[in-house]
Structure 1
Amino acid sequence: MSPSILNFVEAKDTFTAAITSALDIKNSKPLVHAFSHLPGNEAEKKSTLDQALRGFLELEIVKQADSDDFLALIYLSIDGVTEGVCSATTPFLLLGDVLDCLPLDQCDKIFSFVEKNVSTWKSNSFYSAGKNYLLRMCNDLLRRLSKSQNTVFCGRIQLFLARLFPLSEKSGLNLQSQFNLDNITVFNKNEQESTFGQRHLEEKEDGMDVEEGEMGDEDEPATCSIPIDYNLYRKFWTLQDYFRNPVQCYDKFSWMTFLKFSDETLAVFKSYKLDDTQASKRKLNELRTPGGEHVYFAKFLTSEKLMDLQLSDSNFRRHILLQYLILFQYLKGQVKFKSSSCVLNDDQCTWMEETTKLVYQLLRETPPDGEGFAAMVEHILNKEENWNSWKNEGCPSFVKERPAETKPTRPTRKRPAPKDFLGKGPDRKVFMGNDELTRLWNLSHDNMDACKSDNREFMPSLEDFFEEAIEQADPANMVEDEYKVVRNSNYGWRALRLLSRRSPHFFQPTNQQFKNLADYLENMVIKLAKELPKDLPSEEIKTGEEDDEDENGDTLLKQSSDSPDMQNKMVTNEQMDEVAVKLGGQWKTLAEHLEVKAVDLREIEADSEDAEMQAKMLLVAWQDRVGSQATVDNLVTALNTAGFAKIAEILTET
């Protein structure tokens, strides 16, 4: 009798009716009952139920049902996963469909449901199947939201992702320390269109009429020795480009511009004092809504009319000063992917230290509670140093393995000591259960010493083993190739084993190609003949190519034997930068010899399109993988094997 075949249309209608019944009674039993009574295998029925759920949701969206109806259907799909009647990805597909079709004001309620069930998403049944769906869903929402108008919603999404994924999740760590270069601050760069001159002209014509708030409040006296004109306005907002892309500060010309503009801006902050009186308290109250919730402005307003108000605003001043501290921390910090050219000189470091002290002083003088705010900022930036160090070390896991729980065991009888059954003293005899084994075991009182005895040395010396081969290699003896011992496969096998134990030439890289084992042994015999005692016929066995090869081999041997520190010396970031510059687009050739995984290579190609940066990331990935084995000697060996001998010379010279 043939097995029953599932009819997709009938099964889908049956599941749709079961979904309606399950929603009415708020229980998944109708789904389980329909699933168990339908024909077909489990995979077919699960796929049909998944389609029925998505089709039912589509009808609800078309009818413009309430958000509670959508959530009830998603809850039902979660119960279906728990009962094993639908796929683990179905709840996430339903969530994605709902959020794609609803307006943003209704998405807030749906996302609250997502936040509330974060423990469900992190469970074993859902995490591996749904983490990518949730990440894609959150990114789609962030693209729809405005970062300035929907700031709170964007922050909730980021916090949800932080709770969902582990701390070591690579997608959220910004391992390459990239900057958001799209965050451009737009301001008036045309002096001819500046309103400063027009404003002064209007004030002069109108006499005493001044726009409210533009020139200061009577409750808030503020004196500034530097005039607030277009020149100050332009320099002040130009600094935002340096905060957006700090790498510019390593350029000499850009640094001089940043230095000049910063000195003038901080001088304005220093002379433009804020008064912690009723005016500051009134401004703080203005930043709160009638309900008491704090209002947050995500983007600076760069209107020229607001310049004097912004300089007297404590919240605005704290933003700018905090940007300085974050910039200085990056410039002075050790970042793994920072280029070797990104180095500050002594004058730059001295200026940053003095400016850092000035910034903290201004933060302490900024009301309200300047002392507490400055202390909190310093504490947070110190913790940030720990975060940078963790990323530079390759992001090791924070999870510590719990020791295995020791269960009480019943007491066992004490084992006898070896001397109790082996005997005592030098005349003790060990019985192995067989007369012959007992005799062999007791041939010596100390078996380790017996193994180290000279009569146990069966390996011949290089002189004795290769004496005949060296004689046959001498052209004066006129031995034909077919009669040479190196052509014997048995001799070749034993010769390779002996060379691996006693000859340093065996492990040296060479650019010479050999067609077979006999040719390789002939080349090795010529090298050995030059090193063996002079009574052996070695002086006549010379060719020009072999001399060059031998000189190269001697040079490599001298480098490896005369510089033992090279074998233990770790590769520095500067050396990796030099190698990356020389490699360029040929980094994939070296990747094969560094044994970097194909997954890491795909990540490198996806993360950057610059050939030098890809080469640098390859070396960093190799360094993370091998750890303490990332030595100069190992990298030189890989470069020579890959055919980059000239690049390897850079490491041996440093």
Structure 2
Amino acid sequence: MPPSLLNSEFTAAISVALEARNSKPLTHAFNHLHGNETEKKSSLDQALRGFLLSEIIKQSESEEFLALISLSIDGVVEGVCSATTPFLLLGDVLDSLPLAQCDKIFSFVEENVSTWKSSSFYSAGKNYLLRMCNDLLRRLSKSQNTVFCGRIQLFLARLFPLSEKSGLNLQSQFNVDNVTVFNETEQESTLGQQHSEEKEDGMDGVEEGEMGDEDEPAPTSTSVPIDYNLYRKFWTLQNYFRDPVQCYDKFSWMTFLKYSDEVLAVLKSYKLDDAQASKQKLSELRTAGGDGVYFTKFLTSEKLMDLQLSDSNFRRHILMQYLILFQYLKGQVKFKSSSCVLNDDQCTWIDETSKLVFQLIRETPPEGDKFAAMAEHILNKEEYWNSWKNEGCPSFVKERPPETKPTRPTRKRPSPKDFLGKAPGSKIFMGNDELTRLWNLSHDNMEACKSDNREFVPSLEDFFEEAIEQADPANMVEDEYKVVRNSNYGWRALRLLSRRSPHFFQPTNQQFKNLEDYLENMVIKLAKELPKDLPSEEIKTGEEDDEDESGDNLLKESNDSPDMQSKLVSNEQMDEVAAKLGDQWKTLATHLEVKAMELREIEGENEDVETQAKMLLLAWQDQAGNQATVESLVAALNNAGFESIAADMLSSDE
């Protein structure tokens, strides 16, 4: 039969089937028409799409489209249609109808998710459904159609398995294109112009009409003045929220730290006391878009800053961004580079700031405690998802082991306990009287080996008792008769010190020529900690005498200049270096290994750069102690690129 005739026959059968709301007319026409099965399926698919096109042109109701799609589903089940036909019809309908009618069509798609996941439809239609949903998302507005977008995402989550790689973001990439645009020029900002007008005219406030309607509540007594500096820092933080990786950069982290401290301090002082007003404002936001929720991207106008700080919904968005950022920075993510590591100061700051953020969430009405508990629960769940992704997203479906034919049970091989005896009082015979006696000394031989009487390592006090007595000058024992001169004693002493004494692994500047001199020094240290019969004062005196008389024999000559090693940096030298460093003192700070917390205090308490440089050197001196020598400072200056300052310091020191 010619294709045109087949098409017309199937079109007539479709009309009858739609009127009867039954697929039997279609099946009857398919079985009685002449032609092979492939040609008839292709003709029926084309007839369904043509019939749908005519209904779209007529602007029929959504119910007619849904009836036609249901008819195609029944045709697939009966085997008269191709498995892809319902998805093609859905795509044609959603591409042709306005968004208001697409909502009803998509409800039908959601209700039949079990049908799409069946074996007859899933493999053939999953790509069509994914493409259809992506096309819908491109047409929808993320701010005005938030609920519809969420329904599409939930449908895809129900349709595809959890281990579907296309929806997991395995490499932890960020949407860096999500840029928050705000006024970065103070001259063009209304806050900057307002500040200049206040300075010129001496006015205390601004016109109320620019900030909102007359019905807006006035700021409470806890409000803070909004200036351009706060406005700029507040919206600059969005750059870190969209791309958290830059927080691992040292200088970017310092900026983020400074801005966050100021913004969170403002949120802490600018509290919302009227819970009822916050509830009313939240309900107004929820009903702004009709029955749905209007979720807009941040409005960054300077005039809205004061109102945004008074909005509980807005504050929760900002605080939740902090918690999500902190979880990523401290979490173990598989695709993080080796350089993305936080130091101890950064981890401490994040822990303290997280507690502050949760406190602010609890203080934000309405139902702050309930919202904080929910946020904490969700973040804990994210830790499980992160661990699952780090493991390569293994499937949650446990496959059954293949069924095997029952095999003949084999006889269990007896264990040694079966023939050596199981009861605690049973005696085990080893074939020899002496071996039997030794084996049966204890029921559990491993526990017997751990007994206290099996401990043969002596204590430090017992082992070095004789050496401590000989080290006392009052006993007048000559060096050649001391036990530390015995090589066998020295070898055992070193092994005992490595196990029992913390002094063995402590660094020292002394370089000993031989083992005997080293042990004499260690005996003197142990005598102070383990006094027994000899007074430690006498041993200490003897130590000082030995160091004065034979210091050259214990220590090797150092190649470095003794003046440079022991001479500490003076206040005059620090003043000269600070004056020459100026505003470049931060470059030297990294080489002096001063803590980041002290750097923030130095920068916040002093505005003069020379004073900041002097405070940096003082902080380094307090941190280094006896190691704050001229040599150390010269080395740090050379490493930081200040060779001329280092040369001037050496010349003045000479």
TM-score by length of structure 1 reads 0.59
* Partner residue of 1:35 out of 30, 39, 44: 30
1:460-539 pair list within 5 angstroms: none
In structure 1, what residue type is equivalent to 2:395? S
Letter in 1 for 2:25: P
Residue 400 (structure 1) shift:
2.8
- Asked if the contact 1:287–1:294 (Cα under 8 Å) also holds between the matched residues in 2, the reply is no
Q: What residue number does 2:11 align with?
A: 16
Q: Which residue of 2 aligns with 1:165?
A: 160
Do the aligned partners of 1:220 and 1:275 also contact (CA within 8 Å) in 2? no
Rounded Cα–Cα distance in structure 2 between residues aligned with 1:330 and 1:415: 54
Give yes or no for the alignment of 1:320 onto 2:318.
Answer: yes
Q: Which amino acid counterpart does residue 364 of structure 1 have in structure 2?
A: R
Shift of 1:257: 1.2
The alpha carbon displacement at 1:290 in A equals 9.0
Is residue 223 from structure 1 mapped to residue 222 from structure 2 by the alignment?
Answer: yes
Does residue 390 of the first structure (1) align with residue 388 of the second (2)? yes
CA distance change for structure 1 residues 352 and 291 in 2, over 3 Å: closer, same or farther?
A: closer
Residue 143 (str. 1) matches residue 138 (str. 2): yes
1:440-451 pair list within 5 angstroms = none
- Per the alignment, in what secondary structure is the counterpart of residue 187 of structure 2? helix
1:32 alignment partner, SS class: helix
**RMSD between aligned residues:** 3.1
Counterpart CA distance in 1 for 2:410 and 2:253 is 78
Structure 1 counterpart of 2:265:
267
Equivalent residue, structure 1, for 2:100:
105
Q: Is the 8 A contact 2:186 2:192 kept in 1?
A: no
Give the partner amino acid of 1:82.
V
Give yes or no for contact 1:220–1:279 (8 Å, CA) kept in 2: no
Which string of whole-angstrom CA distances, capped at 9 and with x for unpartnered residues, describes residues 24-47 of structure 1?
111111111111122222112111
Mapped to 2, the partners of 1:7 and 1:416 lie a distance apart of 70
3-state SS of the aligned residue for 1:178? coil
Would you say the 8 A contact 2:62–2:104 is kept in 1?
yes
SS of the equivalent of 2:44 reads helix
Q: Could you say if the C-alpha distance between residues 122 and 192 of structure 1 is closer, same or farther in structure 2, counting changes exceeding 3 Å?
A: same
Which 4+ stretches in 1 moved above 3 angstroms? 197-209, 212-220, 290-296, 401-407, 414-418
**Residue equivalent to 1:244:** 242
Displacement of 1:7 after TM fit?
1.6
> 1:222, 1:274 within 8 Å by CA — same for their partners in 2?
no
Superposed, which structure 2 residues align to 1:178-257 within 5 Å?
178-199=173-194, 201=197, 209-211=207-209, 218=217, 221-225=220-224, 227-257=225-255
Contact 1:242 1:248 in 2 (8 A): yes
User: Judging changes above 3 Å, is the alpha-carbon distance between structure 1 residues 240 and 84 closer, same or farther for their aligned structure 2 residues?
Assistant: same
2:589 aligns to what? none
3-state SS, counterpart of residue 43 of structure 2: helix
What's the offset of the Cα at 1:97? 0.7
Q: 1:276 Cα shift?
A: 3.6
Aligned in 2, Cα 1:393/1:291: closer, same or farther, shift over 3 Å?
closer
Deviates more, 1:396-405 or 1:7-16: 396-405
The 10-residue stretch of structure 1 (190-199 or 349-358) with the greater mean CA deviation from structure 2: 190-199
For 2:234 and 2:356, the matched residues in 1 are separated by 17
Q: Report the CA distance between 1:292 and its aligned residue.
A: 9.1
CA contact (8 A) 2:222 2:271 kept: yes
Query: What secondary structure sits across from 2:208 in the alignment?
Result: coil
Q: Deviations over 1:247-277 (max 9, x none)?
A: 1111112111111111111110111111044
Which of 45, 52, 67 aligns to 2:47? It is 52
Correspondence for 1:306? 304
Of residues 71, 81, 84 in structure 2, which corresponds to 1:86?
A: 81
Alignment of 1:347 with 2:345, yes or no, is: yes
Contact conserved, 1:314 with 1:367, CA < 8 A, in 2?
yes
SS at 1:211's partner residue?
helix
Change (3 A) 1:66 1:218: closer
Instruction: Tell me the residue number matched to 1:615.
Output: none
Give the gaps of 5 or more residues in structure 1. 1-5, 419-654
Q: d(CA) in 1 for partners of 2:311 and 2:288?
A: 21
User: Against the structure 1 CA distance between its residues 282 and 56, is the aligned structure 2 distance closer, same or farther, given a 3 Å change threshold?
Assistant: closer
Equivalent positions of 1:504-583 (< 5 A) are none
Q: Tell me how far 1:22 sits from its aligned partner.
A: 0.9
2:360 matches 1:362: yes
Instruction: Select the residue among 99, 113, 117 that pairs with 1:118.
Output: 113
Aligned pair in 2 of structure 1 residues 80, 167: CA closer, same or farther (>3 Å)? same
- Do 1:179 and 1:244's aligned partners in 2 also have CA atoms closer than 8 Å? yes
In 2, the alpha carbon distance for the partners of 1:207 and 1:330 equals: 42
Q: CA deviation at 1:211?
A: 2.4
Q: How many angstroms apart in 1 are the aligned matches of 2:324 and 2:146?
A: 22
Give the drift of 1:324: 0.5
* CA deviation profile, 1:357-381 (whole Å, cap 9, x unmatched): 1111111111122122111111111
Task: Tell me the amino acid that sits aligned with residue 110 of structure 2.
Answer: E
* Secondary structure class of the residue paired with 1:372: helix
Counterpart CA distance in 2 for 1:190 and 1:325 is 30
**What do the CA deviations read for 1:612-634 (whole angstroms, capped 9, x no partner)?**
xxxxxxxxxxxxxxxxxxxxxxx
**Alignment CA distance shift 1:217-1:25 (3 Å):** closer
